[in-house]
Structure 1
Amino acid sequence: MPPFCHIRKLEEGRMHKHLTWTDRLKIEKGLKEGLKPCAIADRLHVHNTTIYRELKRGRYTHLNSDLTTEERYSPEIAQQRYEENLKAKGGELKIGNDYELSAFIEKKIGEEGYSPAAVVGEIKRLGLTFKTEISEKTIYNYIDKGIFYGISRESLPEHGERKRKYDKVERKKAARAPQGESIEERPQEINDRQTFGHWEGDCVCGKKRTKETLLVLSERLTRNEIIIKMPDQTAASVVAALNKLERRFGKKFSQIFKSITFDNGSEFMDCAGIEKSVYGKDRKRTKVYYCHPYSAYERGTNENINKMIRRFLPKGTDFRKVTVAYIQRVETWINNYPREILGFETSGSLFERYVAEAA
Structure 2
Amino acid sequence: MGKLFKHLSQNDRIKMETMLNSGHKVVEVAEYLHVHRSTIYREIKRGEYTHRNSDYTEETRYSSDLGQKNHDWNAQGKGRNIKIGNDRPLAEYIEEKIIEDKYSPEAALAAAAESGIEFTTSISVRTLYRYIDKGIFLKLTNKDLPVKGKRKKHNKRVKVQKRASAGESIENRPDEVKDREIFGHWEMDTVKGKQGVTKSCMLVLTERKTRDEIIVKLPDQKAASVVEAIDRLERKWGDMFTKVFRSITVDNGVEFSDYEGLERSVLHEGEKRTFAFYCHPYSSWERGSNENNNRLIRRHIPKGEDFDEKQDRDIEYIENWINNYPRGIFGFKTSAQLFEEEIRNLA
- What TM-score results when the alignment is normalised by the length of structure 1? 0.73
Q: What is the aligned counterpart of 2:183 among 184, 196, 199?
A: 196
Return closer, same or farther for 1:143/1:267 CA change in 2, 3 Å cut-off: same
What's 1:74 paired with?
Answer: 27
TM-fit CA distance, 1:94: 1.8
Q: What is the aligned counterpart of 1:137 among 107, 126, 142?
A: 126
- Hey, what's the Cα distance between the residues in 2 that align with 1:84 and 1:319? 40
TM-fit CA distance, 1:349: 1.4
Q: Deviations over 1:173-228 (max 9, x none)?
A: 85433232110011112111111111111111122224211111111111111110
- Hey, what's the Cα distance between the residues in 2 that align with 1:319 and 1:162? 23
Give the conservation status (yes or no) of the 8 Å contact 2:83–2:121. Answer: yes
What's 1:31 paired with?
Answer: none
Q: Deviations over 1:12-32 (max 9, x none)?
A: xxxxxxxxx9xxxxxxxxxxx
SS of structure 2 residue aligned to 1:260: strand
Q: Deviations over 1:287-329 (max 9, x none)?
A: 1100001111111111111111112112222232111111111
SS of structure 1 residue aligned to 2:249: strand
Q: Deviations over 1:134-154 (max 9, x none)?
A: 110111111122221111111
- Hey, what's the Cα distance between the residues in 2 that align with 1:75 and 1:188? 67
Return closer, same or farther for 1:251/1:62 CA change in 2, 3 Å cut-off: farther
TM-fit CA distance, 1:129: 3.4
Return closer, same or farther for 1:98/1:173 CA change in 2, 3 Å cut-off: closer
Larger mean CA deviation between 256-265 and 109-118 belongs to: 109-118
What's 2:13 paired with?
Answer: none
Indicate yes or no: 2:283 matched with 1:295: yes
- Hey, what's the Cα distance between the residues in 2 that align with 1:115 and 1:357? 31
Within 5 Å, which residues of 2 pair with 1:197-276?
A: 197-209=184-196, 210-276=198-264
Q: What is the aligned counterpart of 1:324 among 306, 312, 316?
A: 312
Return closer, same or farther for 1:118/1:266 CA change in 2, 3 Å cut-off: same
- What TM-score results when the alignment is normalised by the length of structure 2? 0.75
Q: Over aligned residues, Cα RMSD in angstroms?
A: 3.1
- Hey, what's the Cα distance between the residues in 1 that align with 2:150 and 2:301? 21
Give the conservation status (yes or no) of the 8 Å contact 1:125–1:344. Answer: no
Within 5 Å, which residues of 2 pair with 1:56-205?
A: 74=27, 77=30, 80-82=36-38, 92-126=81-115, 128-159=117-148, 174-205=161-192
SS of structure 2 residue aligned to 1:95: helix
- Hey, what's the Cα distance between the residues in 1 that align with 2:167 and 2:132? 49
- Hey, what's the Cα distance between the residues in 1 that align with 2:29 and 2:263? 65
TM-fit CA distance, 1:125: 3.9
Q: Which amino acid aligns with 1:80?
A: H
Structure 1 unaligned runs (5+)? 1-20, 22-59, 64-68
Q: Which amino acid aligns with 2:94?
A: I
Give the conservation status (yes or no) of the 8 Å contact 1:199–1:260. Answer: yes
Q: Deviations over 1:112-143 (max 9, x none)?
A: 11111112222334455321121101111111
- Identity rate, percent: 48
Q: Which amino acid aligns with 2:128?
A: I
- Hey, what's the Cα distance between the residues in 2 that align with 1:76 and 1:283? 75
- Hey, what's the Cα distance between the residues in 2 that align with 1:311 and 1:318? 14
SS of structure 1 residue aligned to 2:36: helix
Q: What is the aligned counterpart of 1:278 among 266, 289, 292?
A: 266
Return closer, same or farther for 1:160/1:314 CA change in 2, 3 Å cut-off: closer
Larger mean CA deviation between 315-324 and 335-344 belongs to: 315-324
- Hey, what's the Cα distance between the residues in 2 that align with 1:252 and 1:156? 39
TM-fit CA distance, 1:342: 1.5
Q: Which amino acid aligns with 1:193?
A: R
Within 5 Å, which residues of 2 pair with 1:38-53?
A: none
Return closer, same or farther for 1:303/1:97 CA change in 2, 3 Å cut-off: same
Aligned residues: 291
- Hey, what's the Cα distance between the residues in 2 that align with 1:178 and 1:93? 56
Give the conservation status (yes or no) of the 8 Å contact 1:182–1:290. Answer: yes
Give the conservation status (yes or no) of the 8 Å contact 2:87–2:119. Answer: yes
- Hey, what's the Cα distance between the residues in 1 that align with 2:218 and 2:20? 51
